[in-house]
Amino acid sequence: MKEGAGGLEEAVGWILLGGVLLSCALLAAGLVWQHMVVPGTPLADPLAGTTAFRLAVADLRQLATGTLGPRLLVNLGLAVLLATPYLRVVASMLYFAFAAHDTKYALFTAFVLVTLTYSLFLR
């Protein structure tokens, strides 16, 4: 590692930890809420042929209307989980491009980001 990469390591570490904790908290809250409404019955929430971006946009739109419920919490938890490694790649690319001025690794991470973005729009 070059000198100064410690900042990236801190950022990546906290993005991963924060993402997993927030995701699990949302999922657990949704499950507990569902259990309180209909005890013992699992939440039926098949995501028929959607994409990660559509899922996130639908969740945020529903959140904006104020219709909070178990299903929305679970879907938000899932969207946060999917966004966690994605944000880690975004942070890495920004670091290599603008902080480390390392063109080689900025291009590598850009390739990963473009491929992931394409796959997350995939239908």
Partner 1 sequence: MSFGTLFGVSVVAGLVGAMSGMGGGVVLIPVLTALGLDIKRAIAVSIVSVIATSSGAASAYVRDRITNLRVGMFLEMFTILGALTGATITVASGRRLLFVLFGVILLVSWAALWFQRGRPWAPPAAPDRLSRWLELRGSYDDHVLGRRVDYVATHAALGGVLMFGAGLVAGLLGIGAGALKVLIHDLVMGLPPKVSTTTSNLIIGVTALAGTSVYLAAGLVDAGLAAPVIVGIVVGAFLGTRLLVRLSNEAVRRVFLVVLVVLALEMIARGLGGSVG
Binding site for partner 1 (CB under 8 A): 1-2, 5-6, 8-10, 12-14, 16-17, 19-20, 23-24, 27-28, 30-31, 34-35, 40-52, 55, 71, 74-75, 77-78, 81-82, 84-86, 88-89, 92, 96, 104-105, 108-109, 111-112, 115-116, 119-120, 122-123
Q: Which is nearer to partner 1, 66 or 76 (CB)?
A: 76
Closest distance to partner 1 from the beta carbon of 8 (Å): 6
**How far is it, in rounded angstroms, from Cα 104 to Cα 96?**
8
Q: Which is nearer to partner 1, 20 or 60 (CB)?
A: 20
Residue 26 in contact with residue 80, Cβ under 8 Å? Answer: yes
Closest distance to partner 1 from the beta carbon of 74 (Å): 5
Closest distance to partner 1 from the beta carbon of 102 (Å): 9
Burial label, 110 (beta-carbon count in 10 A; 0-12, 13-18, 19+):
middle
Q: Which is nearer to partner 1, 13 or 60 (CB)?
A: 13
Reference 81, options 29, 33, 24, 11; nearest CA is: 24
CA-based radius of gyration for the chain: 18
Q: Write out the two tokens for 8.
A: 């990236």
**How far is it, in rounded angstroms, from Cα 54 to Cα 63?**
14
